[in-house]
Structure 1
Amino acid sequence: MMKKKIALIGYGVIGKRVADAIARQDDMELAGVCDVISDWRIQTAVKKGYSVYAATEDAQDSMQKAGISLAGNMADLLGVAHLVVDCTPKKIAAQNVEIYKERGIKFILQGGEKHETTGHSFSAENNYASALNRDSTRVVSCNTTSILRTLTALKKAGLLQSARGTLLRRATDPWESHLGGIMNTLVPEKDIPSHQGPDAQSVDSELDIVTMAVKVPQTLSHLHYWNVRLTWKADKKEVIEAFQTSTRITLINYSDGLVSNNTIKEKYLDMGRPWGDMYEVALWQDMLKVEGDELYYAYVVDNQAIVIPETIDAIRALTGIEKSAVSSIKKTNESLGII
């Protein structure tokens, strides 16, 4: 079967990871990456051997002045691709959608865009089948992805009645923490529910969920606390077994020294993951508690990495190269070293 050619627009925090992940697959290939930047970030793409395209005329001039060898412009890239993954900032992505629609090319957006932009929001373990052969979808945000993974596992086990979560959100991405973020303060999101709960319902409308969020002065990851009402008075073993049905939830233990997000990050660096990325939800097994029909648990989310496997699965679903969610997830997991 001919490999599907995938265009990548936006070579930033998520884009560079998606590009590398695409390059690892045996049923798709990276047609090229497109951006407006001419600094070290896109120069890294050149060193990796990726074909680089300029998103605008101004970008083309600055990239050529920086000595970057260009394969063409954005229109050229879209002309050779079967599907485009847009990882640009949300205002730019929304503008690009019109271009994709005019060209009749399938496209995937990231969680910063509204559900209405594509009419479909994606989470591999929840609704892969509904994305098959669609023209577009939106891979939900890092926090929403983690919510769906954990609650879908409980729901499939018949354990989930309702869920209430509090999110401690990182202030900014690590690479740009010198540009902004917060220090010596906590910033609560003023609306309850915070946007992550309704966002999860855009994938699974049956979820009874409320979220609250607060921005905290660190950049490594997000931390979630959840209180779930169970459908019966289950025991801890039943809950653990439910979480273990997801290959993208990893159970960790506080007693092993994994007591914070920085120690968890260090573990994944030691494992040799690119950038120390953690594609899984890291859920504390020995912190998890069941009291009657109430479940309490906490986990860490790598905001830079968790959506990468989801994006690869979304490519397979939209292009129809893999009909089975289980098969796609397995292929993606093996390629990224998710065990």
Structure 2
Amino acid sequence: MSRVKVAVNGYGVIGKRVVDAVRKQDDLELVGVADIVTDYRIKTAAILGIPVFAAAPEKATEMRSAGIPVAGTVDELLSRVDVAVDCTPKKIAAGNKARYEKAGIKAIFQGGEAHALTGHSFVAQANYETALGRSMTRIVSCNTTSIVRTLTALKKAGLLKRARGTLIRRASDPWESHLDGILNTVVPEKVIPSHQGPDARTVDPDLDVVTIAVKAPENISHLHTWWVELTRSSTKEEVLAAFRAAPRIAFVRMEEGVTAINSTKELMSDLGRSRADLYEVGLWEDVLTVERNEVYYTYQVDNQAIVIPETIDAIRALAGIEKDAMKSIEKTDRALGVVKEFLQIEKEKAEAA
């Protein structure tokens, strides 16, 4: 079977991670990336041997003058691929839709765009099958991805009735923290519910979910706290089993020294993760509490990484090369090193020690 040819439009926070993930899949082929910048970000791509195309024809000369080996225009890139993953800045992607349609290729957009742009929003474990063969889909935001992952786990276990969550959001992406952010304050979002709850229902309309968000003076990641009403009385063991059975949820524990969001990111770095990326929902196992038919839990969302596995699965779904959601999820996760337990030592190693 020939590999699906992929273009990534936009080599920023998400785009560069999508590029790395595509290159790790044996059924996908990265043809090139497109951008308009001339700084270190796109120069890094060229150094890594990734073909670079000008996302705007008028930028090609400027990019070449900066020493970037421009392979052609974005339209030339699109003429060579099956699927485009649009990782351009928020609201710019919508203007690219017509370009992908003209090229006759599939397209994937990120969560900064509206659901109406594609009419379909994607989280692999919840609605992979509905994306099969579609021309376009949208990967929901990092926070929405985490919401759908965790609530779908409870729903599939027959436990979910309704959910209410508070999101403590990072102030900016790390690479641009010198440009903006907040200091010595916490900023509540003025609209309740915040957009993540309604966005989760674009994936699963049956979810009874409300979210409240505040912005905090840090840029490591997001933190969620949740109260969920269950369909019946349950136990901590049953709830943990539901999360454990779901993909892309991994446990962290206070008792192991993972006591804050910086601890988790440091753990990812120590484990050798590229860019210290946390692809999983990092859920605190020893914080989770169950009281009869109510469960309370806290987890971490890496805003730069959590949507990367979903994007890879979306490529397969649109291209139609894998019909089974779990087979695609398992393939993606194996290539990216996604796990259920970060600190699980193999029995043989423990006994040898």
TM range (shorter): over 0.9
Question: Hey, what does 1:23 align to over in structure 2?
Answer: 23
2:165 and 2:202 mapped to 1: Cα distance? 17
Query: Is the partner of 1:175 in helix, strand or coil?
Result: helix
Equivalenced residue count is 339
Separation in 2, partners of 1:327, 1:139: 19
* 2:125–2:247 CA contact under 8 A, matched in 1: no
User: Matches of 2:14 and 2:59 in 1, distance apart?
Assistant: 20
- 1: CA distance between counterparts of 2:59 and 2:164? 45
1:333 corresponds to: 333
Deviation of the 1:100 alpha carbon = 1.2
Partner of 2:285: 285
Equivalences for residues 267-286 of structure 1 within 5 A: 267-286=267-286
- In 1: Cα distance, 2:20 partner to 2:38 partner: 19
SS at match of 2:218: coil
Q: TM-score, normalised to structure 2's length?
A: 0.95
CA positional deviation for 1:247: 2.5
Distance across 1 between alignment mates of 2:245 and 2:100: 37
- Per-residue CA distance 1:241-273 (angstroms, 9 max, x = gap): 000012300011111111100010000000000
Alpha-carbon distance, 1:92 to partner: 1.2
1:146 maps to 146
Secondary structure of 1:144's aligned partner: helix
* In 2, Cα distance between equivalents of 1:310 and 1:2: 22
1:180 Cα offset (Å): 0.5
2:32 and 2:323 map into 1 onto residues whose CA distance is: 25
Matches within 5 A, 1:224-235: 224-235=224-235
Letter in 2 for 1:14: I
The CA deviation at 1:4 is 0.8
- In structure 2, distance between residues paired with 1:181 and 1:60: 32
Deviates more, 1:42-51 or 1:159-168: 42-51
Structure 1 position 152, deviation (Å): 0.3
The residue aligned with 2:72 is 72
**Residue of structure 1 equivalent to 2:206:** 206
Paired residue for 2:346?
none
After TM superposition, give the deviation of residue 184 of structure 1 in Å.
Answer: 1.1
Structure 2 Cα separation of the partners of residues 254 and 148 of structure 1? 24
Give the Cα–Cα distance (whole angstroms) in 1 for the partners of residues 5 and 102 of structure 2.
Answer: 19
In the alignment, structure 1 residue 121 sits paired with structure 2 residue 121: yes
Q: Secondary structure at the match of 1:71?
A: strand
Q: C-alpha distance in 2, partners of 1:282/1:192?
A: 25
Q: Please give the residue correspondences for 1:64-213 in structure 2 after superposition, counting only pairs within 5 Å.
A: 64-213=64-213
* Unaligned ranges ≥5, structure 1: none
Deviates more, 1:49-58 or 1:70-79: 49-58
Corresponding residue for 1:51? 51
- Partner AA of 2:106 in structure 1: K
Distance (whole Å) between structure 2 residues aligned to residue 230 and residue 91 of structure 1: 37
CA distance in 2, matches of 1:286, 1:57: 54
Q: CA deviation at 1:61?
A: 1.6
Q: CA deviation at 1:25?
A: 0.4
CA RMSD for the aligned pairs? Answer: 0.7
Counterpart CA distance in 2 for 1:74 and 1:46 is: 16
Q: Which moved more, 1:39-48 or 1:157-166?
A: 39-48
**Cα deviation digits, residues 201-237 of structure 1 (max 9, x gap):** 0000000000000010100000000000000000000
2: CA distance, partners of 1:240 / 1:327:
23
Post-superposition CA distance 1:272-317 (Å, at most 9, x none): 0000000000001100001111110000000000000000000000
Residue 103 of structure 1 deviates from its aligned partner by 2.2
Unaligned runs of 5+ in 2: 340-353
- Output the amino acid matched with 1:299: Y
| CA apart distance, 1:57 | 2.6
Work out whether 1:315 is the aligned partner of 2:319: no
How far apart in 1 are the matches of 2:29 and 2:71?
Answer: 16
Question: Helix, strand or coil for the counterpart of 2:331?
Answer: helix
Partner Cα separation in structure 1 for residue 201 and residue 280 of structure 2:
21
* CA positional deviation for 1:168: 0.1
Whole-angstrom distance in 2 between the partners of 1:295 and 1:77: 49
- Measure the CA separation in 2 of the matches of 1:265 and 1:218: 13
Partner of 2:347: none
Aligned twin of 2:238: 238
Distance 2:183 2:131 in 1: 41
Distance in 2, Cα, partners of 1:62 & 1:148? 42
Is the contact between residue 124 and residue 325 of structure 2 (CA under 8 Å) also seen in structure 1? yes
Contact 2:170 2:221 in 1 (8 A): yes
What's the offset of the Cα at 1:98? 1.5
Per the normalisation by structure 1, the TM-score is 0.99
Displacement of 1:90: 2.0
Question: Deviation of residue 56 (structure 1)?
Answer: 1.1
Which residue number corresponds to residue 295 of structure 1?
A: 295
Shift of 1:79: 0.4
Deviation of 1:123 after TM superposition, in Å, equals: 0.2
1:91 Cα deviation from its structure 2 partner: 2.0
Aligned-residue offset at 1:185: 1.2
Aligned position for 1:263:
263
Aligned to 2:22, what secondary structure does the other structure show?
Answer: helix
